[in-house]
Structure 1
Amino acid sequence: MKGEDELQSYLEQAFGKSDVTSAKMRAALREWLDLYYGAPRTGEDAAPRLAALIVGKLCRTVFAEYETRLPPAAPEAVQRSLAALNAAARTAMQYALVGGECLLKPVPADGGFDFTAIRRDCYVPLARDAHGRLLAVGTMERHSCDGRQYALLERRTAGAEGLTIETRLFELNGQMLGRCVPLSTLPACAALVPQLVLPGVQGVGLAVLRMPLMNCVDGSTDAVSIYAPAAGLLHALARCEEQLNTEFANGASRVFASEDMLRPDAQGRRALRDDLFVGLPDDPANVGVTVYSPALREQSYLARKQDLLRGCESLLGLRRGILSELDGTGEPRTATEITATAVDYDLTIRDLQAAWADTVRQAMALCGTLGALYGVPHGAADAAPSIDWGDGVLYDRARVWAEQREMVDAGLLRPELALAWYFDLPCETEAELAEIRRRFIGAERQKGGES
């Protein structure tokens, strides 16, 4: 998080604007990142990395059967942009799961747009509206040339006329922002201009992926990490793990011997002489060594750990057994509880999928607007692909398809409508239904009255 504090300081010096995020939220962001990256903390064992486990499992589940479709007539630029967006999808989702919010920056490339995911600690919100939408944001890129370090600072501001982008290049003086130099100083920045206005571009010209949780840190409109509600429990689990490690370390068998039995060797290390072990009496009172081997209390710590893991699952809407065992004994809990947690988990995944679907719509609309400005034939600005998420926890696609086929066999449903549902095809007009019949229902079957 040093980089974020540094970025905030640089932006204040360059543009006279500061981060609108509260101090409490900035501290929470540091904590979320520390939990994810396993930063050491006194009295805690960060090795289990539960935050990384939560993020990884959720991201894999969200995109397990993810598929996007475009109309056959979609321009090649749209197909390239969508492919680039899909390539950045998992990175962006993980960034948002950790930091609560992630920005996707479209960059013209290869006749379409490429996308760069920007992590929450790598940009500074300079203004937000009442709904938490960004009105101004600052970012920084570091460059190195001829042994000198440079900082390229960019400020994006939304306005009624469109998007304004201000760019400044500074030569760094150690950790301080040095003198402002011309953008042409660096070959990578030579094509940039100090101020650029993009008319018609809504917002800050970036697609935003936000977590669907209500802010539980300071009540503001800032987005929070997916595991923010369970941050305290994650720390408690790390402490429990450290205590369990200590229990095993303290429970190791030891042999205590009196001081006079130890003799230093050539290196000064004190040890028992082999010739001392020539036969010891059976009476313990006459034995010069005592064996210490205490009973371990690991079951108590493990039971506490399972309780904390189940608490995390409940707070985060995860299915029972994702983090914890199904029960302390490994046996399933009640059917009602299993069903309830499955419903919660399905709704959690659906919320995340809906958040990404909204980001896709933003990104493709933004590509359409920018394409008109940059001369990239990207089609309509409001065009969006259809998204197929596959089966959910509560949704069995195979079962629904079997039911639809039964309805077709019984004459209760037209086969064109069933096929349109299965292949996600338009079916609102007779022309669209006729196209489905042409592609999937043979002429002989149509003549036979099965259409």
Structure 2
Amino acid sequence: MILSALFSNRAYNYEDAFGARDLTSVPMREAIRDWYTLFYQTTPTEEEDPCQRIPYTVVNKLTKTTFGEYQAGAEDPFLRAVLSALDAHRTEAVHAAMTGGLAYLKPYPTRAGIAFSVVSRPSLLIFGRDGEGNPTDIGTAEHTSAGSKYYTLLERRTVGSDGRLTLRNLLYVSHVRDQLGRKTTLDALPQYAGLVPEYTFPEPMGLGLAPIRCPAPNCVDGSCDPVAVFAAASGLIHNINRNEAQLNGEFERGQSRIVVSADLLSPVGPDGRRRMLRDKVFVGLDESPGELGVSIFSPALREAAFLARKKEYLRDVESMIGLKRGLLSEVEAAERTATEVTSSEGDYALTIGDFQAMWEGAAREACVLAGRIGTLYRVPNARAVRPEEVTMDWGNGVLYDEDKTWQDYKDMVAAGLLKPEIALGWRFHLPTDTPEQLAAIREKYMPALDGLLGGEA
């Protein structure tokens, strides 16, 4: 659910409650609100018709292609459970990052283990940053309804000079949706009864959240704030929506425009009544109103011109975002596999590679945080986790062709340019950094080496 101070234009209420001011610039706030409006809008307005759903199409296609052949695993049961919990929120998290530019994976302990929630950009206020622009002091809002009351949990996360994280929790209650209301105790809701007003973790863990940053460059204010994947094309998307509204209007009117005297279109007529004629259908002329009367202007429908222009708009969106040409503009194009995308020309493969790297970095950091939080709260089987313990396989396609790489490794072994242990370690996702690790590979796999390498080693 998208719940936000930025969305409701009541940021000052949240800032006053937190006792701090959001560092997000006004242009960025307006842009974030616009991105989410474009993404979620389904009802046509007087000016725009969002029936094409361009932002959703872009985000959904990128996400599907990014994870088309994705697999993640680990040998440890605790880590496998963490990856399973992450996988449940994978699509939601990536959609939020692509739409708002920034999202966070929030690990928290439960009786069953570690669970995750997603913090989207509209639910986030940034109060402090470090020298590299990374947030070090943030506020988030979580909304709950119970009976006739609406509750808002405000959580502030601040990283101190010693690197330790301090959490502060405030609960507000209101009888009106989207209003902060008055402060109440944390035990007013059962799910918050275990929270404390303030707590400082005994060891550094950053914000305790794993960030997912969209790799698109900031084209709004040039700041370090990440932007939506379709941010550069937002103006074009508005034009497409206006284009659709105009085209639909022509068809609804049966291609006709009616020319009438201009005084018939005045807001209030001589008799004091409001006009009933709509200027989208009627065109007023001031010349000789007494002789003009009513006439019909009926041009040919501009279906071909509108469709051609819409197709060009979609091509421009593809170019700005970095999508493969035709993915949006060629509506008859069939779904492509990851391998087909990689083998085609253009920079699409690089774009997908960026999003895969985006998720991989966030997922590994989330696993490390899950280990720390699980250990701190004594979650069963919890332990410290190293990022390299997580195995991620993106399959044949966007980042590389696995079968081709394996053949290259075998050729290098046959030519004496690579140790067989290195090739086998890559094939079975095993570490090859130390002599002991290489010896373990020899002991486990070398008897079958000839068969694995096609008898070439």
Would you say same fold, with TM above 0.5? yes
Coarse TM-score class (shorter-chain normalised):
0.7 to 0.9
User: Residues 15 and 342 from structure 1, CA distance in 2 versus in 1: closer, same or farther, beyond 3 angstroms?
Assistant: same
For the Cα contact (< 8 Å) 2:250–2:256, is it kept in 1? no
Q: Please identify, of 354-363 and 172-181, the stretch whose mean Cα deviation from structure 2 is larger.
A: 172-181
By how many angstroms is 1:431 displaced? 3.6
1:293, distance to aligned residue in structure 2 (A): 7.8
Structure 1 vs Structure 2 CA RMSD: 3.2
Match of 1:422 in 2: 427
Is 2:347 the partner of 1:379?
no
Distance 1:144 1:371 in 2: 29
Structure 2: which 5+ residue stretches go unaligned? 258-294, 334-340
Deviation at 1:221, TM superposition (A): 1.1
Cα deviation, 1:31-63, whole Å, max 9, x if unaligned, reads: 111111125443222101011000000001111
Q: Is the Cα contact below 8 Å between 1:320 and 1:342 reproduced in 2?
A: no
Bigger shift: residues 207-216 or 126-135: 126-135
Question: Any idea what SS the aligned residue of 1:139 has?
Answer: strand
CA drift of 1:350 comes to 0.9
Residue aligned with 2:181, SS: strand
Q: Say whether residues 1:232 and 2:235 are aligned partners.
A: yes
CA contact (8 A) 2:73 2:80 kept: no
Partner of 1:285: none
DSSP 3-state at the match of 1:104: strand
Q: Which runs of 5 or more residues in structure 1 are unaligned? A: 255-289, 331-337
For 2:409 and 2:343, how far apart are their aligned partners in 1? Answer: 28
* Alpha-carbon distance, 1:150 to partner: 2.5
Correspondence for 2:348 among 345, 348, 351 = 345
Structure 1 residues 380 and 345: alpha-carbon distance in aligned structure 2, compared to 1, 3 A threshold: same
Partner residue in 2 for 1:169: 171
- Tell me the SS of whatever aligns to 1:150: strand
TM-score normalized with structure 1 length: 0.80
Matched, 1:154 2:155: yes
Question: How does 1:306-317 map onto structure 2 within 5 Å?
Answer: 306-317=311-322
Partner amino acid, structure 2, of 1:33: Y
- Determine the structure 1 residue equivalent to 2:18: 15
Indicate the larger mover: 386-395 or 85-94: 386-395
Identical aligned residues as a percent: 42
- For 1:210, the equivalent position in structure 2 comes to 213
Aligned to 2:79: 78
1:58 to 36, 59, 62: 62
1:246 to 245, 249, 253: 249
Q: How does 1:49-198 map to 2 (within 5 A)?
A: 49-70=53-74, 72=75, 74=76, 76-110=77-111, 112-145=113-146, 147-161=148-162, 162-174=164-176, 176-198=179-201
Does the Cα contact within 8 Å between 2:85 and 2:115 map onto a contact in 1? yes
- In structure 2, the partner of 1:259 is none
Tell whether the 8 Å contact from 2:372 to 2:383 is kept in structure 1 after alignment. Answer: no
SS at match of 1:17: coil
Q: 1:286 is matched with which residue? A: none
> Is 2:255–2:300's contact at 8 Å kept on the other side of the alignment?
no
* Offset, 1:122: 1.7
Q: Aligned equivalents of 1:89 and 1:21: distance in 2?
A: 26
Decide whether the 8 Å contact of 2:365 with 2:387 is kept in 1.
no
| Residue 194 to residue 298, structure 1, CA distance change in 2 (3 Å) | same
Deviation at 1:296, TM superposition (A): 3.0
Give aligned pairs, total. 402
Structure-2-length-normalised TM-score: 0.79
Change beyond 3 A, Cα 1:308–1:436: same
Q: Are the structure 2 counterparts of residues 41 and 250 from structure 1 closer, same or farther at C-alpha, using a change threshold of 3 Å?
A: closer
Q: Does the CA-based 8 Å contact 1:134-1:203 persist in structure 2?
A: no
Q: 1:45 aligns with which of 44, 49, 55?
A: 49
1:442 corresponds to 2:447: yes
CA 253–196 in structure 1, closer or farther in 2 if over 3 Å, else same = closer
2: CA distance, partners of 1:62 / 1:339: 12
Max Rg structure: 1
Distance 1:2 1:423 in 2: 44
